[in-house]
């Protein structure tokens, strides 16, 4: 009887977890067990996933600037909770379908009061880890960074979200909630600069840095903003930068005439990062914005991307990347 009860509880948690994963594309139909099995089989056969933490995975747990290092967390308990959240879903009964804005991280002097910077996290990132990512961004760019937290279901189920999310172009509850935050800031700019000169208007902008699964979300957000009559004229104030993006089309499903309204965008990818391989690097010709590529594995934003980005290691980055020019508070 105990064994039967245990199996029932496990099944409940499993299917509830899948329901959470399906929230990225607001799927309302039944989930065929064969489809689930196919997804899991695909995940098991993906050799590149072994490199998600790089060639030497243990190094990332103690290295400087790594989001997996204990020293960046307020307590040992919070650290272990963040690490556990990266690999498994520790809240299987909670189904959060909205982006949550976390407190702004600002540990440096802000030289750009007319700018609003957001960070949209990717897979396997709980709130504490998102703050650690935001701290690294704040350190590099010397701007206040507001994390827009994309709730995690653990790395494996987040990968299911990524796999399915690329195949559905309809707006999602996650993307719609992210759009609200970005749209609000764009409308604030319009109000503040209504009577300003063109030169002054150009000094006001919203910047979104998206990582991993966040690339799929921001791809859908940009599409919605282009279709929004209150926002499409304000997209000149919006800049998008993605790292290890999981999107295979950016923005999602636009007509040729609409593509002229896409905000300024740049993408950064490691050529042996599985998520980037099946995402931004898979169909570069379907991605608006320049793609900067570097040889190497690893998917962690701080340890595998931002450290090398800050050192100008992405091909062509030091020559033409706008984001690279914005380091250290530069405009």
Confidence band for 6, pLDDT divided at 50, 70 and 90: very low
pLDDT digits (tens, 9 = 90+) for 216-228: 999 999 999 999 9
Confidence band for 299, pLDDT divided at 50, 70 and 90: very high
Question: Tokens at residue 212, please?
Answer: 């991993």
Percent of the chain beyond pLDDT 90?
Answer: 50
Confidence band for 49, pLDDT divided at 50, 70 and 90: low
pLDDT digits (tens, 9 = 90+) for 11-31: 443 334 444 444 444 544 444
Distance CA 78, CA 131 (A): 12
Distance CA 180, CA 63 (A): 36
Is it the case that residue 171 has pLDDT exceeding 50? yes
> What does the pLDDT average to over 187-199?
91
DSSP per residue, 194-259:
TTS-HHHHHT-EEEEEEETHHHHHHHHHHHHHHH-TTTGGGGGGEEEEEES---SSBSSS--TTGG
């Amino acid at each position: 009887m105990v064994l039967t009860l245990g199996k029932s509880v496990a099944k409940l948690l499993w299917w509830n977890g899948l329901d959470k994963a399906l929230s990225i594309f607001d799927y309302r139909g039944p989930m065929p067990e064969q489809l689930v099995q196919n997804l899991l089989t695909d995940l098991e056969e993906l050799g590149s996933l072994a490199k998600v933490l790089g060639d030497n995975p243990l190094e990332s747990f103690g290295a400087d600037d790594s989001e997996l290092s204990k020293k960046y967390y307020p307590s040992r308990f919070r650290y272990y909770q963040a690490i556990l959240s990266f690999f498994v879903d520790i809240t299987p009964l909670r189904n959060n379908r909205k982006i949550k804005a976390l407190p702004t991280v600002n540990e440096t002097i802000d030289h750009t009061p007319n700018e609003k910077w957001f960070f949209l996290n990717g897979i396997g990132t709980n709130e504490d880890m998102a703050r650690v990512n935001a701290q690294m961004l704040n350190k590099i760019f010397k701007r206040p960074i507001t994390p827009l937290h994309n709730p995690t279901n653990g790395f494996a189920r987040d990968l299911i979200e990524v796999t399915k999310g690329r195949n559905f172009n309809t707006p999602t509850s996650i993307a719609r909630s992210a759009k609200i935050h970005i749209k609000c800031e764009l409308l604030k700019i319009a109000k503040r600069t209504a009577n300003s000169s063109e030169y002054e208007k150009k000094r006001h902008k919203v910047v979104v840095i998206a990582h991993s699964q966040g690339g799929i979300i921001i791809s859908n957000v940009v599409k919605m903003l282009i279709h929004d009559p209150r926002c499409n004229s304000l997209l000149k104030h919006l800049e998008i930068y993605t790292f290890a993006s999981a999107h295979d089309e950016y923005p999602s499903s636009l007509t040729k005439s609409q593509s002229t309204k896409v905000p300024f965008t740049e993408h950064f990818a490691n050529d042996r990062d599985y998520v980037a391989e099946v995402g931004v690097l898979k169909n570069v010709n379907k991605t608006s914005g320049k793609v900067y590529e570097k040889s190497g594995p690893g998917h962690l934003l701080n340890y595998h991307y931002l450290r090398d980005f800050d050192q100008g290691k992405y091909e062509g980055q030091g020559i033409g990347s706008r984001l690279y020019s914005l380091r250290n508070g530069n405009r």
